[in-house]
C-alpha cells in the first residue's frame, strides 16, 4: 500500500557562490526556478560569463526524466536565434548536474513590469515582435515552449529580447495529474499564463504557446494578468471558463486592432486563435506598415556603441528575420486610430526623455531634445537609452549621402560602414552582405589607404554576416584570411599586412569591433572550438590600442 503521508518539502540547496564546478567558477546567485538554482559563472577556458543552472537534487533521481531532458536540451541547443537564450552544454561535476546557458545582462519582463509598469507602445510592439520571432523559430523546429510567461522573457537595457526555458521543465513533471499544479512545492505550469488545453491536461501544440503569449501581452499592456484567484486552481479554472476583461477597458488609449489581436491570441479554442507565430508577425507588420503609411517614419531607439542588440522600437518590423516567410503585401489604407497613436509615437521619440514618457506630450517630432530631459527617468522599462535618431530617417540620410555626387570618399566610407552595421543590427542580412560587398569593390576605386581600409572592412562585414547566417565554416575561413592575408597596396608599393588595418578599423569603429567579436564567439560555439587561431583570438575581446614602450 503506498504511503499516503505528504512528502516533506525538499531541503534548500546551499549557496554555491565561490565554488568551482569543472570549467565554471561560480560568481553569484541569480535566482531560483522550478528546476533549480541559477548562477552567474565564469567559464575559465573561454573567459566568458555564462548562466549556470544547477538541477535540484531530487530531480537528479528521476533517471527517465533526465534522459528525456538531455534529449530535449540537445534539440533546443540547435535553436540558434538572436531572440532565444542559447544552451551551450549540459554536464555533471561533483555529483551536481548542470546546464550552461548564454548569460543575458538584463532583467526578466516580470521584474520590469513590477518596477516600472507597462512600457509605451513602440517598446511593447518591439517586445512582442521579438518574442514572436523566437516562437516561430522554435515551432518550425517542432519545439513547443509550454511555459511562456514574463519570467521567461529576458530584456536587456537596449530592449533586446531573449526567450529562455524552451520545452525543458515538462520533463520533471512525472505522472502528476493535470489538476495537480504543484509537486514538492514546485509549480509545474504557470496558471496565470496556461492555455485551457494545458490546464485540462490535453495535448498541446504551438497554439498553446500563442495563448500564453497573448496572456503575457495582456499583462505587458494592462500591468496585470487577465485572471487572478485565491489559488492556482482558481486561476486555472478561469482560463477554461471565463473571458478576460476587455483590454480596451483598461487601456482605452491602445489601438483597437492591437486589443483585438491580443484577445484573438487568448481565444479559448485553439482553432479560434492565430494558428502560428507567423500569423502574429503578419498582424504586427500590418500595424507597422499602417504607421509608416501615415507618417513616413517609425521611431526606434539608437543602438549605440554597445552593438549587437536588435533595435528597440523596430523600424524594420518585418518578417525578413525568417527566410521561410514570404514578403507581406502592403496592407489596406491605415485606419484612423493610427493617426493619434503615431503622433504620440513621433512626439515620444523626439525628446531624450521620451522612450518612456507619456504619449500625451505634443512637441513637434523634429524638435531638438531639451538638455534637461536626458536625466529624467520615465515610467517604462528601466535603464533604456533614449533614442537619438529615427532609424528609417537615418537610413535615408546615409543612402542619400552615398548616392550624392561629390561626396568625399572618407564620408562615403563612414556612411557605408554605419549602414552595413545598421542592416546587421536589424537582421537584414542580405542587405548587410550587399553593403559590405560594395565596400570591398572600392579597393581600387578609392585612394590609399582608404581603398585598403574599405576592402578589409567589407571582408570583415561579410564574415560577420556569414556567422549570423550560421555558416560557421565559411565565416571562420574568411575571418582567418582577413586577419592573416597580405593585401597589395594600390598603387603597388610594399605589401601591407591586413592585421594592421584590422586593428586600426576595430579601434575606429567600436560597433564593428563588437560585431566581429560576437561573430567569432558564435563561430567558436558552432564549430565546437574552445579557442580559435591566435590571430582570431585577439579579435574576440574588446580591441585596444597597443601599449607604447
CB atoms within 10 A of CB 448: 14
Per residue in 402-411, pLDDT (tens digit) is: 888 889 998 9
Q: Which three-class secondary structure state does DSSP give residue 228?
A: coil
Catalytic residue, chosen from 120, 147, 165, 209, is 147
**What residues pair up with 156 in beta bridges, in sequence order?**
106
pLDDT of residue 231: 86
- Is 134 within 8 Å of 324 (Cβ atoms)? no
d(CA 497, CA 485): 7
Whether residue 354 has pLDDT greater than 50: no
d(CA 79, CA 70): 15
d(CA 280, CA 23): 41
Q: Which three cell numbers stand for residue 519?
A: 561573430
- Is 56 within 8 Å of 35 (Cβ atoms)? yes
- Which of 89-98, 256-265, 285-294 is predicted least confidently? 285-294
pTM for the model stands at 0.55
Which segments within 164-232 are labelled E, that is strand? Answer: 182-183, 186-187
Q: Which three cell numbers stand for residue 245?
A: 476583461
The arrangement of secondary structure in 19-102, i.e. its CATH architecture, is 2-Layer Sandwich (3.30)
Most confident of 5-19, 385-399, 427-441: 427-441
- Is 54 within 8 Å of 70 (Cβ atoms)? no
* Phi/psi at 102 (5° precision): -60, 135
- Is 442 within 8 Å of 426 (Cβ atoms)? no
* Phi/psi at 368 (5° precision): -70, 145
Q: Which residues contact 151 (CB under 8 A, 6 or more apart)?
A: 108, 109, 110, 190
pLDDT of residue 46: 92
- Which of 89-93, 218-222, 369-373, 474-478 is predicted least confidently? 369-373
Q: What is the dihedral of CA 59, 64, 70, 73, to 10 degrees?
A: -80
- Which of 189-193, 312-316, 447-451, 516-520 is predicted least confidently? 312-316
Q: Which of 88, 84, 196, 73 is nearest to 135 (CA)?
A: 84
Q: Which of 353, 263, 255 is nearest to 301 (CA)?
A: 353
Whether residue 133 has pLDDT greater than 90: yes
Q: What is the mean pLDDT of residues 301-325?
A: 37
Q: Which three cell numbers stand for residue 480?
A: 582567418
Q: What angle do CA 258, 335, 215 make, to 5 degrees?
A: 5
Q: Which three cell numbers stand for residue 206?
A: 504551438
pLDDT of residue 358: 36
Which bin fits 91, alpha (ψ -120 to 50), beta or left (φ > 0)?
A: beta
Rg (CA), the chain: 25
272 is catalytic: no
**What residues pair up with 101 in beta bridges, in sequence order?**
51, 87
d(CA 125, CA 234): 31
Q: Annotation-wise, does 489 bind a ligand?
A: no
Q: What is the mean pLDDT of residues 263-272?
A: 97
Q: Which residues contact 371 (CB under 8 A, 6 or more apart)?
A: none
Q: Which of 484, 458, 473 is nearest to 537 (CA)?
A: 484
d(CA 155, CA 353): 20
Q: What is the mean pLDDT of residues 219-242?
A: 92
**What residues pair up with 25 in beta bridges, in sequence order?**
20, 42
Whether residue 79 has pLDDT greater than 50: yes
Q: What is the mean pLDDT of residues 28-34?
A: 82
pLDDT of residue 491: 41
| 106-176+188-289: CATH topology | Transferase(Phosphotransferase); domain 1 (1.10.510)
Most confident of 151-165, 380-394, 523-537: 151-165
Helices 121-140 and 337-350, packing angle to 10 deg:
100
CATH of range 392-540; options 1.10.10, 1.20.950, 3.30.70, 1.25.40: 1.25.40
pLDDT of residue 70: 80
* Domain parsing of the chain, residue ranges: 19-102, 106-176+188-289, 392-540
Q: How confident is the model at residue 319 (pLDDT cuts 50, 70, 90)?
A: very low
**What residues pair up with 39 in beta bridges, in sequence order?**
29, 52
Q: How confident is the model at residue 37 (pLDDT cuts 50, 70, 90)?
A: confident
d(CA 466, CA 471): 5
pLDDT of residue 233: 87
Ordered strands of the 24-32 beta sheet: 20-21, 24-32, 36-43, 48-55, 96-102, 87-93
Q: Which of 32, 72, 74 is nearest to 53 (CA)?
A: 32
Amino acid at each position: 500500500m503506498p504511503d499516503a503521508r505528504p512528502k516533506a518539502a525538499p531541503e534548500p540547496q546551499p549557496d554555491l557562490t565561490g565554488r568551482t564546478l569543472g570549467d565554471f567558477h561560480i560568481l553569484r546567485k541569480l535566482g531560483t526556478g522550478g528546476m533549480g538554482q541559477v548562477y552567474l559563472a565564469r567559464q575559465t577556458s573561454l573567459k566568458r560569463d555564462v548562466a549556470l543552472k544547477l538541477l535540484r537534487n531530487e530531480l537528479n533521481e528521476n533517471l527517465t526524466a533526465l534522459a528525456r531532458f538531455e534529449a530535449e536540451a540537445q534539440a533546443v541547443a540547435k535553436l540558434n536565434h538572436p531572440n532565444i537564450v542559447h544552451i551551450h552544454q549540459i554536464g555533471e561535476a561533483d555529483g551536481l548536474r548542470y546546464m550552461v546557458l548564454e548569460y543575458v545582462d538584463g532583467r526578466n519582463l516580470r521584474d520590469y513590469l513590477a518596477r516600472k509598469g507597462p512600457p509605451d507602445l513602440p517598446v511593447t510592439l518591439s517586445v512582442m515582435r521579438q518574442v514572436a520571432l523566437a516562437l516561430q523559430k522554435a515551432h518550425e523546429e517542432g519545439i513547443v515552449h509550454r511555459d511562456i510567461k514574463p519570467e521567461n522573457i529576458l530584456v536587456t537595457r537596449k530592449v533586446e529580447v531573449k526567450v529562455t526555458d524552451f520545452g525543458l521543465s515538462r520533463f520533471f513533471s512525472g505522472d502528476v495529474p493535470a489538476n495537480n499544479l504543484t509537486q514538492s512545492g514546485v509549480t509545474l505550469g504557470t496558471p496565470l499564463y496556461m492555455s485551457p488545453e494545458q490546464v485540462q491536461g490535453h495535448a498541446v501544440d504551438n497554439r498553446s504557446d500563442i495563448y500564453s503569449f497573448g496572456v503575457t501581452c495582456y499583462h505587458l499592456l494592462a500591468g496585470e494578468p487577465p485572471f487572478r484567484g485565491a489559488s492556482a486552481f482558481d486561476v486555472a479554472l478561469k482560463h477554461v471558463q471565463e473571458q478576460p476583461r476587455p483590454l480596451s477597458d483598461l487601456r482605452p488609449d491602445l489601438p483597437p486592432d492591437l486589443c483585438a489581436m491580443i484577445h484573438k491570441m487568448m481565444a479559448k479554442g485553439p482553432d479560434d486563435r492565430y494558428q502560428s507565430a507567423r500569423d502574429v508577425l503578419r498582424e504586427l507588420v500590418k500595424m507597422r506598415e499602417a504607421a509608416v503609411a501615415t507618417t513616413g517614419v517609425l521611431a526606434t531607439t539608437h543602438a549605440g556603441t554597445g552593438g549587437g542588440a536588435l533595435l528597440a522600437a523596430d523600424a524594420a518590423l518585418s518578417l525578413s528575420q525568417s527566410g521561410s516567410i514570404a514578403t507581406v503585401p502592403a496592407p489596406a489604407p491605415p485606419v484612423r486610430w493610427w493617426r493619434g497613436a503615431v503622433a504620440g509615437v513621433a512626439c515620444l521619440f523626439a525628446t531624450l526623455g521620451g522612450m518612456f514618457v507619456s504619449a500625451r506630450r505634443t512637441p513637434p517630432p523634429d524638435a531638438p531634445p531639451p538638455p534637461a530631459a536626458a536625466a529624467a527617468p520615465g515610467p517604462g522599462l528601466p535603464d533604456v537609452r533614449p533614442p537619438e535618431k529615427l532609424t528609417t530617417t537615418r537610413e535615408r540620410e546615409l543612402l542619400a549621402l552615398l548616392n550624392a555626387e561629390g561626396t568625399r570618399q572618407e564620408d562615403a566610407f563612414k556612411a557605408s560602414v554605419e549602414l552595413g552595421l545598421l542592416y546587421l543590427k536589424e537582421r537584414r542580412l542580405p542587405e548587410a552582405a550587399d553593403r559590405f560587398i560594395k565596400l570591398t569593390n572600392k579597393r581600387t576605386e578609392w585612394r590609399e589607404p582608404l581603398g585598403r581600409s574599405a576592402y578589409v572592412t567589407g571582408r570583415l562585414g561579410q564574415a560577420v554576416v556569414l556567422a549570423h547566417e550560421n555558416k560557421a565554416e565559411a565565416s571562420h575561413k574568411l575571418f582567418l584570411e582577413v586577419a592573416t592575408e597580405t593585401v597589395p597596396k594600390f598603387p603597388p608599393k610594399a605589401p601591407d599586412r591586413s592585421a594592421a588595418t584590422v586593428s586600426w578599423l576595430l579601434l575606429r569603429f567600436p560597433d564593428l569591433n563588437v560585431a566581429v567579436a560576437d561573430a567569432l564567439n558564435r563561430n567558436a560555439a558552432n564549430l565546437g572550438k574552445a579557442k580559435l587561431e591566435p590571430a582570431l583570438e585577439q579579435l574576440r575581446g574588446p580591441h585596444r590600442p597597443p601599449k607604447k614602450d
